[in-house]
Structure formats: C-alpha cells, structure tokens
Structure 1
C-alpha cells in the first residue's frame, strides 16, 4: 500500500502520558505499517511523564530519499 489507510497522514506525531494506552497507540500505528521516526521525546509536566513519538508511512520516507 503506497498511502496510509483510512486517509491518515504520512507523518504523525503521537503524544500523551507515558502509560499503557500510549504504548498501545504506538503499537497500533506500527501494526498498520508506520515506522518509528527517530526516538521519542519525553518531558515532565509536574505531575506525569509526557511522551511524543513521530511515525512515518514507509512510502513517504522512500519519496523523500529519491
């Protein structure tokens, strides 16, 4: 598949508290065919750890490298 399913964008940044729900969202994106883009960003908002993870659709990365 050359484009992401369900009209999703080729580049996405998933964010949220560092919990099991966030891990499931990243895992679901990987199962759809997205790939991790670099490592996660992590911050602390005073109460909890917040994580951001970028994912890219493989065809988008291929197009950028040609």
Structure 2
C-alpha cells in the first residue's frame, strides 16, 4: 500500500518544474527521479536540435497542483 503523497514537494522544491538537457540516459534518470519523488508528467516532451545535438525538455507538476489544473480546465 502506497503512502499518500504530501500536499507540497519535498525540500522546498517547486510545484512546477521543467527539466532540460541532452537526450541521453542522464536526462532520463533525472525525469525518473522526479517521478519517484511523486511528480507527474505535465504534457509530452519537447524535442529540438542544437547544432547536431538533440535537446529535450519535460515539464513535471506536483500532484496537488495537477489536480487543481485539471479542475480549472473542466
């Protein structure tokens, strides 16, 4: 049984985060760490290239904020 998610992120982290970086294992691990903390993906990833390097971005939202965003959109 999972413990309930706290209403605020740990360690004073922001409710909304955007991670960016090269499309590599390190970026995937960073996103995975945020998911393990309790963040939820907010939309799909954005992908672009910068001189031959692929750069990705992924927005994440803390669940209590995500619930509010979904309620506001209905």
Q: TM-score range by the shorter chain?
A: over 0.9
Unaligned runs of 5+ in 2: 1-5
Q: Choose the corresponding residue for 1:54, options 52, 59, 68.
A: 59
Equivalent residue, structure 1, for 2:3: none
Report the aligned-residue RMSD: 1.0
Three-state SS of the structure 2 residue aligned to 1:42 is strand
Q: Distance in 2 between matches of 1:36 and 1:10?
A: 12
Equivalent residue, structure 2, for 1:6: 11
Equivalent residue, structure 2, for 1:38: 43
TM-score by length of 1: 0.94
Q: Distance in 1 between matches of 2:44 and 2:66?
A: 16
Deviant stretches of 4+, over 3 Å: none
Residues paired across the two proteins, number: 66
